[in-house]
Structure 1
């Protein structure tokens, strides 16, 4: 039986330490002009952050903040993400009262930024987990999925009524990637709506400073997702097939397989990350292309540019705003000394607007020759496993939509997600016909 402490007290302590306290600190810092505080607060409003990116860049290769450093310089972002002196950041409270409270109130429920998630571990564990799933996301493996992805896109668009307004975020951007990743992981068709809802509900789990209401909703979603995943793993064990999850269950690397907890963390991350960021890519791409008809016309004249257009969408409006790293040992980056234990926030969206790399960085240009130089998939050992898959789905998803409905136009009511780290649309109304 769950105790009163487990039901009410521990969640309140987890929220207080992990969200309420950091939110208060960051809001106070933002009022004083601190760059880390400002980007955290302003990101939640959906505002254009270009001016803030430029301000951070003007403060040098690594701008000092109240909690560490931040950067929007392209070369510095790549250097930090590729340097083994920096590890994936997660809250550390030490041995004091906060540390003891954090340990007492901890939960066993899987979380995308806590071990043994691929996002939260370092070598050698990270190397072992990654090797077991890499083969599914190679360029050759993704190319084999191209025809099936095209069929899924066609089927989804066949179901739309050209004469009626539609919310593309709900009817297309979410369903295309969740169908693809569900087939990769052996999720039956009747459970895909559940997976989509759980993924959306868990999206704020990457953010810091959640309100109590959102925090409780996220914890409930993660608990439900954990239980669903346990059930799905049991089902796949009884009925294995030609899918990634069946292979992960039996896979061995140097004679060692994944433990149950490692298996759930890896499968859960692949499942959620396999569609959540692609949902944003598709929505952001639709918004950009519909809002820039001259770019859409360029693609109609030069359809071979669709692949490059996807990279330009990723550069101009990336699905992930930023990522943090913790300095594991005293080091120096771009001439700036960084002490062990300091947090460095690499602003991926800001690095994608670095004028030293991208000419006229604020312009959306599907012909941009170096669009692929963006850092939206990260860099180094944590470079996004699903980058090839996301590019392929983005290309097919966007091209097929605009080929099928050339007169598509956005309608009032588009609404950005309230999440800070994941950047996309939760509502994207459009008229499909003329």
Structure 2
């Protein structure tokens, strides 16, 4: 009963009202939550609303699809990050607090996604001290080795392969697990927890989705607590062990509490594979749909980094974010009151025609593709952006070098999520494999 009441407060009422709002007036926020057509084609939704101006007023929130406005809000001290249930009316927020199961959640404090300075500065500084650019750069060989191993295993397969299950999900979970000291025996379990919990960033979940999310988050919480305790007793040379040691070695004012450490470690682990799965799946699908680009990349492999930026821009693995106004503020001529919420449609900003010429065209030579906002911006810019780019570049290049004759074997299915966008299944006929490059 407690879970059912919590679901009603967080999702059920919002889900019902959004369905009504979609039918009666087409409120943009309601459509974003409840309209399957918007989930299927978020670019068309963004284009439709972009003509209303840089900031769009909805019944309960504001939205922006404008690149300049999105960039400004993400970097502004006039706005703060949101948290699960923070935008609910007071009675529902009270119910949410009273039914809180006490589990760590990706968009509840002390997650880095839901805290601001000084706590955010302290936690992020500690993670950055071990998750450095140099450390990520050194992982490139590991990414390459893992990709080669996974593709070696596929060579024995004939017929149709689900490339998401067999490759796109396996590569990032293996890499981030190596980095964070996760034993190989636990990796498929972690992947399952991640798949169950993926809709946790959405609102308006069905009761069934909510149950699955709770199962995934509860399972991940229990596993992570045991994993961190093991690493405390048996530290290795992995970055998670270094994070634990750095937390205890820091001055008392800079240390993380046990809960902060678990939240931070869990976010780094989950984010380290969850969005990269989408990047790889989206990239493979986009490139198979445009074989002329594959021909260009085969002749000019130096274009792979640019191609990855364009994939990130055009089919962003993270579609949106949100910020609350700290104080009354004016943005692009629109007054936003203290405490009001702005939904930042990152995917729409990434197709802003004022920034990207012919924004819906897939152009692997686009000179400003890297201006996308898929990794957010400002103090909440994604810590794992460099690793995600490396995995995208190495993972996609290696796949198509090994299987240049790969072809789609069906339409596949999109994930039933709105904040995260990717493929849950993508059937591929691999064709003849080329030998792995030395």
Superposition TM-score, scaled by structure 2 size: 0.94
Give the conservation status (yes or no) of the 8 Å contact 1:325–1:344. Answer: yes
CA–CA distance in 2 between the matches of 1:141 and 1:102? 40
Specify the alignment match of 2:284 in structure 1: 286
Cα offset for 1:55? Answer: 2.0
Cα offset for 1:135? Answer: 3.5
Matches within 5 A, 1:81-96: 81-90=74-83, 91-92=85-86
Specify the alignment match of 1:158 in structure 2: 152
Indicate the SS of the match to 2:114. Answer: coil
Cα offset for 1:108? Answer: 0.4
Give the conservation status (yes or no) of the 8 Å contact 2:110–2:259. Answer: yes
* Structure 2 unmatched runs, 5+: 433-438
1:430–1:121 CA distance, 2 compared to 1 (3 A): same
Does residue 1:63 correspond to 2:56, yes or no? yes
Give the conservation status (yes or no) of the 8 Å contact 1:173–1:283. Answer: yes
1:46–1:98 CA distance, 2 compared to 1 (3 A): closer
**Selected match of 1:22 from 14, 21, 24:** 14
Indicate the SS of the match to 2:57. Answer: strand
CA–CA distance in 2 between the matches of 1:136 and 1:177? 19
Cα offset for 1:210? Answer: 0.6
CA–CA distance in 1 between the matches of 2:414 and 2:232? 39
1:94–1:213 CA distance, 2 compared to 1 (3 A): closer
Specify the alignment match of 2:113 in structure 1: 119
RMSD over aligned CA atoms reads: 1.6
Does residue 1:172 correspond to 2:164, yes or no? no
Indicate the SS of the match to 1:159. Answer: helix
CA–CA distance in 1 between the matches of 2:429 and 2:271? 29
Give the conservation status (yes or no) of the 8 Å contact 1:86–1:328. Answer: yes
Superposition TM-score, scaled by structure 1 size: 0.95
The range that moved more, 246-255 or 92-101, is 92-101
Cα offset for 1:217? Answer: 1.4
CA–CA distance in 2 between the matches of 1:413 and 1:229? 36
Matches within 5 A, 1:122-161: 122-160=116-154, 161=156
Indicate the SS of the match to 2:9. Answer: helix
Residue by residue over 1:359-395, the C-alpha shift from the partner in whole angstroms, topping out at 9 and shown as x without a partner, is 1111101011111010000111111110000000000
Indicate the SS of the match to 2:428. Answer: strand
**Selected match of 1:372 from 355, 370, 373:** 370
* Structure 1 unmatched runs, 5+: 1-8
CA–CA distance in 2 between the matches of 1:100 and 1:167? 44
Cα offset for 1:37? Answer: 1.6
CA–CA distance in 1 between the matches of 2:87 and 2:51? 32
Cα offset for 1:92? Answer: 3.1
Residue by residue over 1:245-302, the C-alpha shift from the partner in whole angstroms, topping out at 9 and shown as x without a partner, is 2122121444332111111100111000000000000000000001100111111111
1:44–1:275 CA distance, 2 compared to 1 (3 A): farther
Cα offset for 1:29? Answer: 2.3
Cα offset for 1:142? Answer: 1.4
Does residue 1:276 correspond to 2:266, yes or no? no
CA–CA distance in 1 between the matches of 2:310 and 2:87? 40
Give the conservation status (yes or no) of the 8 Å contact 1:11–1:105. Answer: yes
1:223–1:297 CA distance, 2 compared to 1 (3 A): same
**Selected match of 2:409 from 393, 405, 411:** 411
**Selected match of 2:178 from 177, 183, 204:** 183
1:137–1:292 CA distance, 2 compared to 1 (3 A): farther
Give the conservation status (yes or no) of the 8 Å contact 1:162–1:431. Answer: no
Specify the alignment match of 1:385 in structure 2: 383
Specify the alignment match of 2:33 in structure 1: 40
The count of aligned residue pairs is: 426
CA–CA distance in 1 between the matches of 2:396 and 2:87? 44
1:254–1:337 CA distance, 2 compared to 1 (3 A): farther
Residue by residue over 1:36-62, the C-alpha shift from the partner in whole angstroms, topping out at 9 and shown as x without a partner, is 222222367642222221122111110
Cα offset for 1:413? Answer: 4.3
